[in-house]
Chains A and B, each alone.
Chain A
Amino acid sequence: MATERQGDRLAPPGLDRVQRWMQALIQDQGTCAEAIASERAQVEIPADQARTVVLPSKTLSSFERLDIYREMYLLRMEEALASDYPALKHYLGDEEFMRMVARYVEVYPSRSYTLNRLGDHLLEFLATIGDLPKPDFCRDLARLELALTGVFDAGETAPLTAQAVQAVPQDAWETVRLKPIEAFRLLEFNYPVSRYLGFVDEENPVPRLARKKTWVVAYRSNYSVHRMDLTQPAYELLSALASGETVGDAIVSVMTRKFRRAVKEKQLFEWFRDWMAEGLFQAVEIAKP
């Protein structure tokens, strides 16, 4: 029994039961009556006693007062996820996105003191459902948007200065290792999701959403989040550098072996110049002789 009898009357449930009961009602997505009759709620307070737990007001019944909290819960969750996944919401539309949010928070309710972490499991969740339109595109889009929130919140690391770059002796570059800043994410996609995000942000026309390999580096510069579309060779080279390969090894393995003839020396210089200008690296390590 959820409540204890004291003499002839039922003792009110304790604070812990009231809280677990109310939380169960808030998170249940049926009607209030269905939520009250749910097993999770009835473990705490039997349905036939539920109406007596909350007082009615002059204008609202007990259930209607509970519904205020119940309705606000899902709206709050939707608002939080929409702020992290605006392009996914744009693609799915308001109704489909809300349906997805409702299903998501049933599986992954917030366990953090901050709503900023609510969307951390969205990729895992999307991998388990197949009824979204273009599910592979949605997963790619969500992966890009999750990376961008990670870049937004990453710790600040000062980028390499021009002086630090110039201080590297010319003949040492081959053995140099470049360490990326913390706010740096390299991504490979099967769809042009960066272009789709650009379309949502009104930066470019809507892209064709057919399968197409694309590569992106997301990073933060001067506290603003940016993303740069990459070619495959540029992506492979940045990946090799980020994994700790020396500049010489990265160029040899990526440029010479993988993309022979595809990349001209001039192009290579331009990439390095752009990456340095964007502040993608925080440190340059020169191998000791």
Chain B
Amino acid sequence: MTTMMSIEDLHVKFATPFGSLEAVRGASLDIPAGMSVGVVGESGSGKTVLCRASMGLLSGSNVQREGKVVFDGKELTAMTRDQVRNEFGTGMAMIFQDPMTALNPVRRIGTQISESLRVRLRMDGKAARARSAELLSLVRIPDPEAMLRKFPYQLSGGMRQRVMIAIAISCNPKLLFADEPTTALDVTVQAQILQLLSDLRRDLKMSMVLVTHDLGVVANHTDFVAVMYAGEIVEQAPTIELFANMKMPYTEALLNSIPNIEMKSGARLKAIEGRLPSPVDRPTGCGFVTRCSYALQKCHDEHPPLVDAGNGHLYRCWFPLGHTIARKQ
């Protein structure tokens, strides 16, 4: 199994008026070629920053990035901005969360899709237009010719997200980042878009990183999962292994908090009380200690290292689920 992208010990810090804020703290993740990797976590867990930093999309004097990112055999972290830019479109592409704001409201759909074709693939206007129509039918938009002439405001959220996907796959990228591609959409449209992404990934032989806060989405559409909490990857495993053999109390809590269609109606949900610790004031021990129902003194004092449980299953917990030490609850 070849690796499309490998992220090694990535740290991302932002300088803020409150001090240095470490959004990603030493994340390591391999994205195998042709596979789909889910990155799951709550808002503020660092999942979007992880993706953007790996792609080299974060820049500015207040951003500090450490670690190594290797994409398709090339070390992105050692490249200049222009060299990294060269990889966009044909190498890596991204679908953003909000299809309402990611499209330019004053340009026609056709112009927006053909832009990358003309710039990246040096197509002429006519060829780019023909290819744009093809891409629109690939993302299952009926009547692509008519769609090319429309403006984003004329489309529903689901249709806009399809257009975003068409733009992202326009130059046949090897790796597609999808950052919460369905969070702003209805459940029925979400099901359609996720199916579309899975089909495209298979047909175009892409690798994909699917960022989401919903473990339900991850279960059916990924091969591997990385769970993020407070800037760290706290558990990662092949999807089947993760759901069968969870180690982190956080992953379990996240799963339990999902309203399940099979639960008894009127049953109380198992919410995770509290919220993520502030990134400028994180606990010294385990990041999840403030909300973990199993936490012991050791969890407060010492930061848990990444433990390898075999089968590609890694986790960060002193007392993983199924551990023999008596728990508080």
| A and B: bona fide binding partners | no
